[in-house]
A and B are shown apart, each in its own frame.
Chain A
Amino acid sequence: MERERRLDVDGHGEKELIGRVAPAGPDMIQGLARRAFVGTSANGEYKSRLWLTESTFRKILYLSGISAIVLLFAILISLSVSSMPAIKQIGLAFLVRSVWDPVTGEFGSLPFLVGTLLTSLIALLIAVVFSLAVSIFLGEYYRRGPTSSFIKGIVELLAGIPSVIYGFWGLAFFVPAVRFVEMRIHVAPYGVGILTASLILSIMIIPYAASLGREVISLVPADLKEAALSLGATRFEVIKKVVLPYARSGILAGVLLSLGRALGETMAVTMVIGNSNMLPKSIFAPANTMASIIANEFTEATGKVYLASLVEIALVLFVVTAIINIVGKVIIIKMAVER
């Protein structure tokens, strides 16, 4: 009695066929015995070469297991300790002051919070439309077949392209294009800025919401959909009234995942955002995000408070992305429980 086994290998949320299970038989047991024991003692019995006791091994496993927790806390503590000089000197005002002036020693991170928020939200708005479309495409209309594999492949490719390559391509293609548009509408022809960064960011985060969305949509029970169809609903109405509400939390979790990725994206953004430390006045203005200011100024921050301020920005980034990840996870767990 064979059964199929499926595994989610690429972390995108979908499980692929990887094997079939057959029950253990006498041959297998013999093979096991041969592999597990080696050597014979003087009287011809099998003897095991025990170099590791069970309790030691279990202890090693346990230590390894909690090492992830330890690592996480170590990161949190390191970041906090290193940003102490800034926290002590500036306090909470750090988050609302908008002057970032290394000369006078005033550090306010508001411009970067705003820059991060603007780019991430605009990118998310654009990306969600496409992610939702792709999720429905792959989860409802084309679940199998060549078209399905093709679009799935494209989405995976988009996720796999390194960030610098997006940035370089952005410099070579998007920036002149945006500059062209800006000259037409008589705005300062920077080419770089919040808009450009948001556009590139949106392309980069589409795969994350799309994969998760696709999985939850394809898991909507067929009988629910068929019931609606048998009542005379069109496919669109089924999607609108049955599938999407059912998959709501999964889609939300996917959106959160995309958001988390957008917040922390560094290289592509640094290359096209214009690197200005002032509060951006429009979406065509140059700006900086929390990640890009660190990339720009970390290696040369002279002065304890300067460096500590940058680490404090990293701390904020860490906390915010951690919270978003936890919330997303909670939603997924609740979703599994409800089902």
Chain B
Amino acid sequence: MRQRSVQERILFDRLFKGLVITLSFVIILPMFFILYFIIRNGIGVVNWSFLVSLPKPMGEAGGGISNALVGTVILILIASVISIPFGILTGIYLSEYKKGRFPYLSRLSLEILQGIPSIVIGIIAYVWIVVPMGSFSALSGGIALAIMMLPVIVMATEETLKLIPDSLKEASLALGVPYPRTILKVVLPAGLSGIVTGIILGIARIAGETAPLLFTAFGSPFMSTNIFKPVSSLPLLVFNYATSPYPEWHALAWGACFVLIVFVLFLNLIAKVVISRWKVQF
């Protein structure tokens, strides 16, 4: 093998570093384009009436996304109510029982659940809830989203609780505090910031989901607060309007994209603030 001169090796070194830096900065381009498109097309559309009016029939100008906003909120609420208690309890279980076959299997199951394509979860929710219930509903959509949110919350809870030193728990137990109370009133509050962060990130994840809602929440042109009826949601609206040929509907879709992205970015920002300001206190 030919010996490379020192200069050559230094050259390669510089080139490589340049390549790495260039490639890393190239990924800013799609980000920039996406944000540019959304802001340019969406910001003109978003105004107060846009946020509070219902969509108009096909091809007519005007209208808004109020039902989609409310629908998204309802779905998030349902998903949270189901997955947060379950998730926290499972997280506690996993942090308390570190070894053993069932905890291991549980962790493995959660990893797999997190990787399941969202459309498969939509099918499951359809088979389990829509068919027996006889109609599409916000409830079925919320349950599908809850299944997707569960692993996020469990992992956040488990990680946070693992960090809290055992001495806290043991001190509490030594004082005679019953075990359930120790966990719920002493250990859990100590790790609250991490858990809250997990919840916020879970919500950010499901807020933009469409596939599981295609055959569960179904969508609706009306405002609905009944959880047993179909409901619209921001991502569903974007999907339906984006694939239509009407420029008026495209404009609505861009506006909805704008709102959705602002929401998701806002949640991520809050999560970061929570992590940095609200430290885990023991």
Contact = CB atoms under 8 A, between A and B. Distances in A.
Direct contact of A and B (CB under 8 A): yes
Interface of A: 5, 7-11, 16, 18-24, 28-29, 32-33, 35-37, 48, 50, 52-54, 56-58, 60-62, 64-69, 71-72, 75, 78-79, 82, 129-130, 133-134, 136-138, 141, 151, 154-158, 160-169, 171-173, 203, 206, 234-237, 239, 260-261, 263-267, 271, 291, 294-295, 298-299, 311, 314, 317-318, 321-322, 324-326, 329
Interface string B170-186: 01100111111111011
Interface in B203-223: 204, 207-211, 214-215
Interface string B93-130: 11011000011011011111111111111011011100
Interface stretch (B21-29, B45-53, B56-64, B224-232): B21-29
A236 B23 CA distance: 16
B108 A163 contact: no
A18 B113 CA distance: 27
A127 to B, nearest CB: 10
A9 B235 CA distance: 25
B179 A234 contact: no
B23 A68 contact: no
Contact of B115 (A50, A206, A321): A321
B27 A165 contact: no
Contacts of B9: 234, 236-237
A7 B159 contact: yes
B246 interface: no
Contact of B37 (A21, A169, A265, A321): A169
B69 interface: no
Contact of B180 (A33, A53, A136, A311): A53
Contact of A168 (B96, B185, B242): B242
A56 B261 CA distance: 44
Nearest to A238: B13
Contacts of B65: none
B147 interface: yes
A318 B120 contact: yes
Nearest to B154: A68
Interface string B53-77: 0000000000000000000000000
A72 B215 contact: no
A274 to B, nearest CB: 13
Interface in B166-203: 167-168, 171-172, 175-183, 185-186, 193-194, 197-198, 201
Interface in B229-282: 235, 238-239, 242-243, 253-254, 257, 260-261, 264-265, 268, 271, 275, 279-282
Nearest to B28: A154
B13 A234 contact: yes
Contacts of A168: 238, 242, 253-254, 257
A11 B89 contact: no
A278 to B, nearest CB: 21
B216 to A, nearest CB: 11
A158 B26 CA distance: 13
A164 B239 contact: yes
Contacts of B43: none
B40 to A, nearest CB: 11
Contact of A158 (B30, B112, B167): B30
Given A133-B23, A168-B257, A72 B113 contact: yes
Contacts of B242: 164, 167-168, 171, 271
A164 B212 CA distance: 12
Interface of B: 9-10, 12-13, 16-17, 19-21, 23-28, 30-31, 33-34, 37-38, 41, 86, 89-90, 92-94, 96-97, 102-103, 105-106, 108-121, 123-124, 126-128, 147, 150-152, 154-156, 159-160, 163, 165, 167-168, 171-172, 175-183, 185-186, 193-194, 197-198, 201, 204, 207-211, 214-215, 235, 238-239, 242-243, 253-254, 257, 260-261, 264-265, 268, 271, 275, 279-282
9 contacts: A9-B201, A10-B271, A18-B275, A54-B180, A61-B93, A79-B120, A162-B210, A164-B208, A271-B243
B239 A72 contact: no
Contact of B159 (A8, A60, A62, A79): A8
A18 B279 contact: yes
Contacts of B257: 164-165, 168
Contact of B116 (A69, A75, A155): A75
Query: Which 7 pairs of residues, A with B, have the shortest CB-CB distance?
Result: A162-B208, A264-B117, A133-B23, A65-B93, A19-B280, A64-B89, A57-B180
A236 B14 CA distance: 8
Given A35-B186, A326-B108, 5 more contacts: A9-B194, A23-B167, A69-B109, A160-B264, A271-B239
Contact of B23 (A24, A129, A161, A171): A129
Contacts of B275: 7, 9, 16, 18
Contact of B120 (A37, A165, A173, A314): A314
Contacts of A5: 163, 280
A308 B183 CA distance: 46
Contacts of B260: 162, 165
Contacts of B24: 130, 133-134, 137-138, 151
B142 to A, nearest CB: 16
Contacts of B239: 164, 167, 267, 271
B102 A9 contact: no
